[in-house]
Structure 1
Amino acid sequence: MQHTRRLFLKGTMAAGTLAIAAGANLLTPGKVLAAWPEKAFTAEKMDTALSELVGGTELIESDKITLKTPDIAENGAVVSVTVRTELPDAESISIYVPVNTSPLTASYELTDKFDGEISGRIKMAETSDVIAVVQAGGKLYSAKREVKVTLGGCGG
């Protein structure tokens, strides 16, 4: 009985402390939220999103970027994307789907320990190009692939 009572009191004290800290905004990750490029992710045009995120819109097609996507995505809510770059000093990788309501689907800031490849899943509203943009050496390089999104995941 004594053990259960102590465990209950510890849990109550911990929960109370967390509630007070949250109420005082001490648990808000301010630095992380401040760095989130909201204008880029809420932009309705790809050029606007690109400009807000990296400050330019001029893309140079590069064979040093490999974009791997399925040719046909049966479910546009989960489309696998892998981007590999051989560009030296890559600073960031962003993935765009121009026909989406918000074209910028993902953005990664890179460090010097970056191994050259990112992978994830994106959402696509309909058949479109998927465009990978790599910022390296102050320039923007790109690669694109068309992904066909089937209706309702039934191939129709």
Structure 2
Amino acid sequence: MNRSRRVALQSTGAFATLVSLGLITQSQAQAAVSAAGFEAKNLADALKAIGGTPATSDQVTVVAPDIAENGAVVPVGAVSKLPNTTDIMIVVEKNPSPLAAAFTIPAGTNADVQTRIKMGQSSNVIAVVKADGKLYSATKETKVTLGGCGG
């Protein structure tokens, strides 16, 4: 296990322990993205909630399939090569709730996240990265053959 991953796992474990012991509340434990970001119903509102419109960067990469056979379980991820990356958000342009995931990146760790999300239809998957207080993004189109958000 590399050092960056070990530090991230230790930080996450310690944080979870503090929440479970009641030393901090769940609301204090939430990522930098407010609940308003996850409650947004369109792309513009989701981007506004996470800090505004990001600039496109070749240092940010979206990891997503070209074609997802089942929209209920689509593996996606994002990689940032930008220094001082603090947050990574996954946004799906045409989803009923566009902000699908948000990650806080501990200092000194690799900015590389992977998760599974639901996609209701073919759409652009956008990775939004916060580095040095600025927002950057990359986009990749993913086609869905069987919708996962009620489709």
Gaps of 5+ in 1: 1-25
Work out whether 1:49 is the aligned partner of 2:46. Answer: yes
Change in Cα spacing, 1:49 to 1:79, as seen in structure 2 (3 Å) is same
Residue 25 of structure 2: which of 27, 31, 36 is its match?
Answer: 31
Partner residue in 2 for 1:144: 139
Partner of 2:123: 128
Change (3 A) 1:70 1:134: same
Q: 1:150 to 1:113 in 2, by over 3 A?
A: same
Instruction: Compute the displacement of 1:67 (Å).
Output: 1.2
With over 3 angstroms needed to count, the CA separation of the structure-2 counterparts of 1:42 and 1:65, relative to structure 1, is same
Bigger-Rg structure (1/2): 1
Render the CA deviation track for 1:58-85: whole Å, top value 9, x for unaligned: x211111121111100100111112111
8 A Cα contact 2:72 2:147, kept in partner: no
Gaps in structure 2 of 5+ consecutive residues: 1-19
Alignment identity in percent? 45
Normalised to the residue count of structure 2, the TM-score between the two structures is: 0.75
Question: How do 1:7-156 and structure 2 match up within 5 A?
Answer: 31-36=25-30, 37-53=34-50, 55-57=51-53, 59-151=54-146
TM-aligned CA distance change 1:144 to 1:29, over 3 Å: farther
The alignment partner of 2:70 has SS state of coil
Aligned-residue CA RMSD (Å): 2.1
1:151 partner SS: coil
Letter in 1 for 2:57: S
Post-superposition shift, 1:113? 2.7
Query: Residues of 1 paired with 2:94 and 2:26: CA distance?
Result: 28
TM-score (norm 1): 0.73
Distance 1:102 1:29, change over 3 A: farther
Q: In 2, Cα distance between the equivalents of 1:29 and 1:131?
A: 35
- Which amino acid is 1:39 matched to? A
